[in-house]
Amino acid sequence: MKMGLVGYAGSGKSTVFEWLTGAKPDPAKVQQGQTATADVPDDRLARVAAVIKPKKTTYTKVTVLDTPGLMRDERKDNNRRLGVIREANGMVVVLDGFSRTDFAAQLRHFREELLFADMEIVGNRITKLDAQLKKRARPAKEIEAEEAELALMRRINAALEGGTPASALGLAADEEKLVRSFQLLTLKPEIVFVNRGDSGFNDPLPADLLALAPTAVQAPAKLEMELAGLSDDDRQAFMADLGVTAFQRGPTIRAMFYGVGREVFFTTGEDECRTWSIPKGCEAVEAAGCIHQDLSDRFVRANVIGYDDFVACGYSEKEAKARGLNRTEGKTYVVKDADIMHILASS
């Protein structure tokens, strides 16, 4: 699960990168992008582990990608800069909330950059397909496939030109497959993060921003890093002074993770308790593949306990079994967030 931090130059992406991952970005590697990971905190897993006391507790991670910022006045290089996030599964749009107050305008402009970048890619593809279709004496099947792709590309292009992201077209599964290799930016799930300064972080986000991005979140990234570096006593005093009631780093990582359509399931045992990242609403056989491809290929069934049932049974599998709350599910079972799963595979 890779999330790209994107935004205009100086909006604080590299600061947010360090805040989230604890890793300092290397200024020499800014142009090609750099990654580090962060655990996705989960109180539910912490509670499970506190009772089961496994040898190891493992939180699923997100990989965070720092990218070069876009230029406001010199757009020429922006498509290359945006290219760095094409391989990411989702993006975090970092808005400057410490030196500017025009959050909605920043987001609107940034989304236009995404539209322009996709239009260039789709436009190039249309030109290429047009040229290819002029060549004669080829198998009818090949021509048919190219015509279908061309029609789809024209539809996407018309949407982009009208200011509509490709994600709003509701592409069918086969259409999405057809365009997957182009890694269109406006198809990527997005979450908006307002990088606040030393004040204003307790204010609600403005309505015009929420109208554009209802799941937007905010935090004072730099301030939290500075506070984290203080002694306990100093930290408490400064937090009280500044009005920081709780650190937002953990909730922000969770918002990023859930905001782009991920969920988790749990595996539990004396050796290890852990969360596994899955796409929201996936089937048991796909979830099994998130642990290991083999488990998916040789999937037989899954034993599942819903998280609330597990809690009601005192985090005991035995008790869940005794109460008939340990269900046997097949390949197509739709996994719920925080399900406790044991996957059985054939040997």
Ligand X SMILES: Nc1nc2c(ncn2[C@@H]2O[C@H](COP(=O)(O)OP(=O)(O)OP(=O)(O)O)[C@@H](O)[C@H]2O)c(=O)[nH]1
For position 14 contacting Mg ion by CB under 5 A, the verdict is yes
Distance of CA 57 to the CA centre of its chain: 22
For position 275 contacting ligand X by CB under 6 A, the verdict is no
Q: How far is the CB of 30 from ligand X (least distance, A)?
A: 6
Q: How far is the CB of 123 from ligand X (least distance, A)?
A: 27
Rg (CA), the chain: 23
Nearer to Mg ion, 11 or 296 (CB): 11
For position 220 contacting ligand X by CB under 6 A, the verdict is yes
Element (H, E) at 94: strand 90-97
DSSP 98-128: SS---HHHHHHHHHHHHHHHHHHHHHHHHHH
Q: How far is the CB of 27 from ligand X (least distance, A)?
A: 8
* In contact, 117 and 79? CB cutoff 8 Å: yes
Nearer to ligand X, 54 or 197 (CB): 197
**Residue 267 β-bridge partners:** 274
248 binds, among Mg ion, ligand X, none (CB under 5 to 8 A by kind): none
Q: Is the dihedral of CA 48, 51, 54, 57 positive or negative?
A: positive
Nearer to Mg ion, 29 or 75 (CB): 29
Q: How far is the CB of 220 from ligand X (least distance, A)?
A: 6
Q: Phi and psi for 62 in degrees, rounded to 5? A: -110, 145
* In contact, 212 and 107? CB cutoff 8 Å: yes
Q: How far is the CB of 68 from ligand X (least distance, A)?
A: 6
* In contact, 70 and 169? CB cutoff 8 Å: no
For position 195 contacting ligand X by CB under 6 A, the verdict is yes
For position 221 contacting ligand X by CB under 6 A, the verdict is yes
Q: How far is the CB of 205 from ligand X (least distance, A)?
A: 15
Segment interacting with ligand X, rule: CB under 6 A, options 4-12, 244-252, 278-286, 289-297: 4-12
CA distance 243 to 198: 10
For position 41 contacting ligand X by CB under 6 A, the verdict is no
CA distance 95 to 7: 7
For position 30 contacting ligand X by CB under 6 A, the verdict is yes
Residue the block writes with tokens 């990971």: 37
Nearer to ligand X, 188 or 196 (CB): 196
CA distance 184 to 156: 10
Segment interacting with Mg ion, rule: CB under 5 A, options 8-16, 97-105, 269-277, 303-311: 8-16
Site string for Mg ion, 74-113 (x = CB under 5 A): ----------------------------------------
106 binds, among ligand X, Mg ion, none (CB under 5 to 8 A by kind): none
Which tokens sit at 208?
């015009």
Q: Given candidates 83, 123, 189, 197, which one binds ligand X under the rule CB under 6 A?
A: 197
For position 265 contacting ligand X by CB under 6 A, the verdict is no
For position 83 contacting ligand X by CB under 6 A, the verdict is no
Q: How many residues bind Mg ion (CB under 5 A)?
A: 2
CA distance 332 to 204: 41
Nearer to Mg ion, 95 or 244 (CB): 95
* In contact, 84 and 65? CB cutoff 8 Å: yes
According to DSSP, the β-strands at 61-66 and 34-39 are antiparallel
| Helix, strand, coil share of the chain (percent; to 5) | 45, 20, 30
Residues that bind Mg ion (CB under 5 A): 13-14
User: Which residues here bind ligand X, judged by CB under 6 A?
Assistant: 7, 9-15, 30, 68-69, 98, 195, 197, 220-222
